[in-house]
Amino acid sequence: MASADAGTALETEYQVFLSFRGPDTRTGFTDILFHSLIDHGICVFRDDEELPVGERIEGSLEQAMDNSKIYIPILSQTYASSKWCLRELEQIMANTSKSEGDKEILPIFFDMELEDVKLKTTLYTNAILRLQSEKKLSNEQIDAWREVLKEVGAIKGWEVKKYRGHGELIKLVTEKVVEKLKRKDKLVTEHLVGIDDHVVAINELLDINSGDVRAKSSRIDGLIELQKKLLSEIAVHAGTKSIDEIDYGMQRIGEALSNKKVFIVIDDVDKSEHVEKLLGKRTLRSRSRILITTRNKDVLQIHRSKYHILDFEMQVMSTNCALELLSRHAFNNDSPLDDYDDLSREIVSATGRLPLALEVIGSFLYEKGQQIWQETSEKLSKAPHKDVFGKLKISYDALTLEQEQIFLDIACFFIDEDKTNPIYMWKSCEFSADTGLHVLIDMSLVKIGENNK
């Protein structure tokens, strides 16, 4: 029976399906390509053995073919001599034709220098005719497989003999697969609201046309895994398994990034040293850009003389955008229902226009009656929703006990008050008032506005 190769269970959703004639390429080209793909983190299905003649494509093999996004048939000299290979190819073509562009075929023409489709088709037609004489195939099967081979032959693929060696071609195929899967797999929230101004501002900061890290980076092994992931994302996966300490990972990353123009996003960083351990110590190539999101501005204190560091502080959502975001989750619409307009505005105000809160509350209120809306609004005026509270408390929990006391004093007694008097009070309590206030400001937990308030 066919078997799965990727170190995973049969119910895995495979990304790439390899179809090949075993005696021609299994232990050579196909095996090297297979391992190159899985080394880049791609889940690959390859068919180790052909099913007996007469058995249908079904079970785990059918599931693997249906789930795969990219098919790579390796069309060798005797590929079309295999009834089983032709069945696979027929199923592949059927899957891609009905997928509306979500699936793709990348054929490899092995051991052939055939410049036009006609020659390829003739070769495979002869192979089919041999099958007909040997196994008494029906005319319908012959016609169907001839058409399938003609369609595949018309697809632009790779001809192995045009390359200096298998290694060069396998590298190109792997890079192409990684590129296509990245384009297909990007998942973006369905309800993006109010981002246009932020996009413009970020693009200006990045000056493109000019000349979940927190949880993982808190552990040493987590940082090492992030180093490996970064190297694999920039197509330098070879040898990453040997990275077992942070310093060696920094060395490998520094070597890899020094000769590449890169754009790297590091999300939710809480320590500046983690940035250096992920980027290495060497200077990045000119026009590279690093985008860091963080709850703590201290993370941006990176001591690199050649780096130009710019701050961008996210601003609170406008009332109109906040109302739209709530409505999309609560009503599947861009604006509230007429009877819920006032309640919606009350909830937007009570949440402080915080996107996370609007998403959570909007989803909770979906298809709920006005009474529940009213009760929710009243509760929010006293305390945030528990799911939102848990997220907001992350920054508070990162404070020292003394900093927590300063924060609670401000939250309970000194909002919109001059900071001078509370600073005297904290110092009389032997608190490091200036340092504590600086930490709270850097973590965006408090702001000092006009008139020192």
Residue-wise pLDDT tens digits, 405-445: 999 999 999 999 999 999 999 999 999 999 999 999 988 88
Angle of the 83-97 helix axis to the 59-67 helix axis, nearest 10: 40
- Please return the burial class of 347, using the count of CB atoms within 10 Å of its CB with bins 0-12, 13-18 and 19+: buried
- The answer for 242, left when phi > 0, alpha when psi is -120 to 50, beta otherwise, is alpha
Percentage of residues of the chain with pLDDT beyond 90: 28
What pLDDT shows up at residue 382?
85
E strands, 85-234, are 104-105, 108-109, 158-159
Highest mean pLDDT among 232-241, 304-313, 344-353: 344-353
C-alpha distances in angstroms, 392 versus 171, 314, 389, 431?
A: 45, 15, 5, 24
In three state form, how does the secondary structure of 296-344 look? CHHHHCCCCCCCCCCCCCCCCCCHHHHHHHHHHHHHCCCCCCHHHHHHH
- 345-370 mean pLDDT: 90
- Listed in sequence order, the residues at least 6 apart from 313 whose beta carbon sits closer than 8 Å to its beta carbon are 444
Q: What is the pLDDT of residues 78-110, one digit of tens each?
A: 887 788 888 888 899 988 888 777 889 999 988
By annotation, the residues acting in catalysis are 88
Question: Is the model's pLDDT at 232 over the cut of 50?
Answer: yes
Any alpha helices (H) in 72-116, and if so which ranges? 83-97
pLDDT band at 324 (very low <50, low <70, confident <90, very high): very high
What pLDDT shows up at residue 216?
55
Tokens of 171: 């590298």
Radius of gyration of the chain (CA): 30
Question: Is the model's pLDDT at 226 over the cut of 90?
Answer: no
Task: Return the higher-pLDDT residue of 156 and 361.
Answer: 361
Read off the amino acid at residue 256: A
Q: What is the pLDDT of residues 255-311, one digit of tens each?
A: 777 777 788 888 888 887 888 788 777 777 778 888 888 888 888 777 666 778 888
Q: What is the mean pLDDT of the chain?
A: 80
Q: What is the pLDDT of residues 58-75, one digit of tens each?
A: 566 777 888 899 999 998
Phi/psi for 44 (5° steps) reads -120, 140
What pLDDT shows up at residue 29?
93
- 237-251 mean pLDDT: 72
Can you give the pTM of this predicted structure?
Answer: 0.55
| CA quadruple 205, 209, 210, 212: dihedral, nearest 10 | 40
pLDDT band at 323 (very low <50, low <70, confident <90, very high): very high
pLDDT band at 50 (very low <50, low <70, confident <90, very high): very low
